[in-house]
């Protein structure tokens, strides 16, 4: 009997946020504060207030998928579903699948993982230096709008031959994913004590004072430096101003109550073999974080390399995930690996369905959330980094199609990243090695 998707661990939420009061009714010597009403805005501002924020979720399974089970054999809107896409067929009109895409110049098997969201070439070289990842690029621009500029989450992170991160700062420094759902939930929704909040404010203010001192020292140096150095200093001051804005935003959020949700803190799944179950918990937390507008940018690293023989539908598989991926076309190993990857696709399908079920305005959460699922390996069995599996759901694009590019001379995957950046409202014309926006992907009317 074909297993069915389990319901989400966390029910739909109800927010209880304080409302800012800006208007008064006055009479008989009494002033009664009113809540802010959209009707108080002029028509143009009222329309702008009704706009929903755009969001993105970026998911990497670092052992990818078996290509012949993932990629459709034909292209266009009437493509035939592949075995894996058949599992999420109820969402067919909500996603686009891509083939023949890759990151130009990114090679090296597992060593390509750090370039998954940065597209920085040369990952196979000793001289490799990573750059900023897509999520952090967006977070630098709009992260101040939410309590958490971004969230980096992970499943079974650590060990193996991979670098266990997919999020990187502007200087190429890895941002370690958070792996315990209970701690993520606490950070998102559990209000600290008064003493903890005051301690947090002291830490933030201390950071601000250090920044002030460094800035003052740098200003005193300016009269004694060259024109070229002054240009560098101006770049430095620009970075400092950006940091100051972040400090201020952090202090503001520290004083605001966290959202209240009708959900119990999750229990951590400590058994690494329960890969799909752990993944589903992270997907549930991701939905909650988006639904409460705690953040608008989430990355999820599914570290299959560090996963022992997985449990699928209560059955322990015969070998570790990494070993299974090096199947050498063995029918027996492929059969086991297929069961594991089908479990992953069911978890992804439930996540997409949960976002569709979460109402937002006249639509749902998926309408305004881009969900990108992919991998840094096109064929894990041979460590190839071309023809990467890629799927984009939601976000207000026209979906229901297979965009097939040349599987020998691959199309730049960073073009999709640029399209996603622009959908987030950033007026950029390039990201990493992009050559333009993703061909064939259009915004829905």
Joined tokens for residue 6: 């389990």
* Per-residue model confidence as pLDDT tens digits over 292-343: 899 999 999 999 888 888 988 888 888 889 888 888 788 899 999 999 999 9
The whole-angstrom separation of Cα 439 and Cα 445 is: 17
Residue 136 has pLDDT above 70, yes or no: yes
pLDDT at 48: 41
**For residue 269, what pLDDT band results from cuts at 50, 70 and 90?**
confident
Residues 10 and 288 sit within 8 Å (Cβ to Cβ): yes
Q: What is the 3-state secondary structure (H, E, C) of the chain?
A: CCCCCCCCCCCCCCCCCCCCEEEEEEECCEEEEEECCHHHCCHHHHHHHCCCCCEEEEEEECCCCCHHHHCCCCCECCCCCCHHHHHCHHHHHHEEEEECEECCCCCCHHHHHHHCCCCCCCCCCCCCCCCCCHHHHHHHHHHHHCCCCCEEEEECCCCCCCCCCCCECCCCCECCCECCHHHHHHHHHCCCCHHHHHHHHHHHHHHHHHHHHHHHHHHHHHHHCCHHHHHHHHHHHHHHHHHHHHHHHHHHHHCCCCCCCCCCCCCCCCCCCCHHHHHHHHHHHHHHHHHCCCCCEEEEEECHHHCCCCEECCEECCCCHHHHHCCCCCHHHHHHHHHHHHHHHHHHHHHHHHHHHCEECCEEHHHHEEEEEECCCCECCCCECCCCCEEEEECCECCCEEEECCCCCCEECHHHHHHHHHHCCCCCCCCCCCCCCCCCCCECC
Residue 383 has pLDDT above 60, yes or no: yes
* Per-residue model confidence as pLDDT tens digits over 83-105: 999 999 999 999 999 999 999 99
Residue 38 has pLDDT above 50, yes or no: no
Joined tokens for residue 245: 């804005």
By mean pLDDT, which of 78-82, 224-228, 383-387 is the weakest? 224-228
Whole-angstrom CA distances from 333 to 86, 225, 391 are 21, 65, 25
**For residue 360, what pLDDT band results from cuts at 50, 70 and 90?**
confident
More confident of the two residues 12 and 351? 351
Q: What is the pTM of this model?
A: 0.78
The whole-angstrom separation of Cα 357 and Cα 344 is: 20
Mean pLDDT of 181-210: 67
Whole-angstrom CA distances from 206 to 201, 243, 245 are 8, 13, 15
The whole-angstrom separation of Cα 97 and Cα 171 is: 32
The whole-angstrom separation of Cα 271 and Cα 273 is: 5
The whole-angstrom separation of Cα 110 and Cα 380 is: 9
**For residue 444, what pLDDT band results from cuts at 50, 70 and 90?**
very high
pLDDT at 251: 54
Residue 205 has pLDDT above 80, yes or no: no
pLDDT at 28: 37
């Amino acid at each position: 009997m074909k297993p069915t998707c389990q319901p989400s661990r966390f029910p739909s939420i109800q927010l209880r946020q304080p409302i800012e009061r800006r208007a008064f009714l006055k009479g008989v010597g009494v002033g009664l504060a009113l809540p802010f009403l959209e009707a108080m805005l002029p028509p143009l501002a009222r329309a702008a207030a009704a706009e929903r924020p755009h969001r993105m979720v970026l998911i990497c399974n670092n052992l990818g998928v078996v290509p012949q089970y993932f990629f459709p054999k034909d292209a266009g809107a009437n493509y035939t579903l592949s075995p894996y896409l058949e599992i999420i067929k109820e969402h067919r009109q909500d996603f686009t699948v891509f083939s023949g895409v890759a990151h130009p110049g990114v090679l090296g098997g597992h060593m390509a993982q750090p370039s998954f969201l940065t597209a920085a070439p040369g990952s196979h070289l000793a001289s490799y230096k990573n750059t900023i990842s897509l999520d952090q690029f967006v977070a630098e621009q709009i992260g101040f709008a939410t309590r958490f500029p971004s969230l980096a989450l992970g499943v079974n992170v650590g060990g193996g031959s991979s670098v266990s991160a997919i999020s990187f700062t502007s200087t190429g420094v890895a941002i370690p994913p958070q792996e315990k759902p209970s701690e993520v939930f606490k950070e998102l929704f559990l209000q600290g004590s008064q003493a903890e909040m005051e301690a947090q404010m002291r830490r933030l203010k201390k950071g601000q004072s250090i920044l002030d001192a460094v800035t003052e020292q740098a200003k005193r140096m300016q009269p004694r430096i060259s024109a070229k150095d002054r240009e560098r200093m101006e770049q430095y001051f620009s970075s400092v101003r950006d940091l100051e804005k972040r400090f201020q935003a952090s202090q503001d959020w520290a004083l605001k109550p966290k959202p209240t949700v009708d959900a119990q803190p999750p229990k951590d799944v400590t058994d690494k073999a329960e890969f799909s179950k752990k993944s589903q918990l992270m997907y549930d937390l991701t939905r909650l974080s988006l639904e409460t507008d705690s953040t608008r940018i989430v990355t999820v690293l599914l570290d299959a390399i560090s996963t022992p023989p997985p449990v699928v539908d209560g059955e322990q598989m015969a070998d570790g995930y990494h070993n299974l991926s090096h199947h050498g076309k063995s029918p027996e190993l492929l059969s086991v690996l297929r069961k594991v990857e089908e479990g992953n696709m069911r978890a992804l399908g439930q996540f997409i369905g949960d976002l569709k079920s979460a109402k937002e305005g006249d639509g749902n959460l998926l309408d305004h959330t881009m969900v990108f699922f992919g991998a840094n390996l096109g064929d894990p069995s041979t460590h190839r980094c071309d023809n990467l599996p890629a799927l984009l759901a939601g976000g207000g694009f026209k979906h229901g199609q297979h965009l097939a590019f040349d599987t020998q001379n691959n199309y730049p995957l960073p073009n999709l990243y640029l399209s996603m950046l622009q959908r987030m409202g950033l007026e950029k014309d390039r990201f990493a090695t992009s050559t333009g926006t993703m061909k064939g992907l259009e915004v829905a009317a």
